[in-house]
Every structure is written in C-alpha cells, then in structure tokens.
C-alpha cells in the first residue's frame, strides 16, 4: 500500500496544450515516488477522464477508487457484487444514467 501525498500540475512546454500532472506517492519504506500522468486519460473503471490521481493510482479516478459516483456522490456498489467485472459493469451503468447531457460544441 502506498500513500498519495501530493499532486500538482506541470506544464509541458513545447507539447501543444497537453498538460501532465504529477502525483507524489509515499511508500511504506518512506520513499517518495513521483508519477506523471495525464488527467484526461480514461479511468480503467468508468472510462471517464481520471482528472486526479487517486490512492489506487493514476489509472483509476478518485471517485471509482472511493466507490462513489462523481455526479451524485452516491455509493456505486452494494457490496454484493461477486467479481471485479461485475463491479465495473455496475459502475458503468450508473455513470451512463447519471452523466449529464453532453453539450457537444463542434469547433
């Protein structure tokens, strides 16, 4: 188990407007590990941009990590899900229902 202690946004000069974020994790041995991640990378659980690194790492969004919906803040899972795949299915269905109507502005 590693603990996240900080995250910050770093600008990547010369790389368009792609912004990477840095998250600092603390290992049990007392070492700090800095991980760079893309806040727009899709969460492995809900498929939405991760936005922030979570305790579970930079591949899962903080909301899925906590098991809560990013829109309604309700808990996704009942605790009766039998597998990880089932949990992910429950989360995806919930997100689909909760997701606000997307206003797509073609530019």
Q: Name the residues that contact Zn ion, by CB under 5 A.
A: 43, 45-46, 61, 64, 69, 71-72, 98
Q: Note whether 50 and 58 are within 8 A (CB).
A: yes
**Smallest separation, CB 83 to Zn ion (Å):** 17
Rank residues 43 and 53 by Cβ distance to Zn ion and give the closer one: 43
Rank residues 35 and 98 by Cβ distance to Zn ion and give the closer one: 98
Rank residues 32 and 75 by Cβ distance to Zn ion and give the closer one: 75
**Smallest separation, CB 89 to Zn ion (Å):** 13
**Smallest separation, CB 69 to Zn ion (Å):** 3
């Amino acid at each position: 188990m590693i603990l996240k202690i900080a995250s910050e946004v770093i600008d990547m000069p010369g790389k368009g407007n792609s912004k990477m974020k840095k998250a600092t994790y603390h290992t049990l041995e007392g070492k700090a590990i800095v991980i760079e991640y893309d806040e727009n990378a899709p969460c492995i659980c809900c498929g939405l941009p991760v936005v922030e690194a979570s305790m579970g790492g930079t591949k899962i969004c903080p909301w899925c990590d906590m098991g809560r919906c990013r829109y309604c803040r309700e808990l996704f899972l009942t605790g009766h899900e039998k597998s990880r795949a089932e949990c992910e299915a429950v989360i995806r269905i919930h997100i689909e229902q909760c997701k606000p109507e997307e206003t797509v502005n073609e530019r």
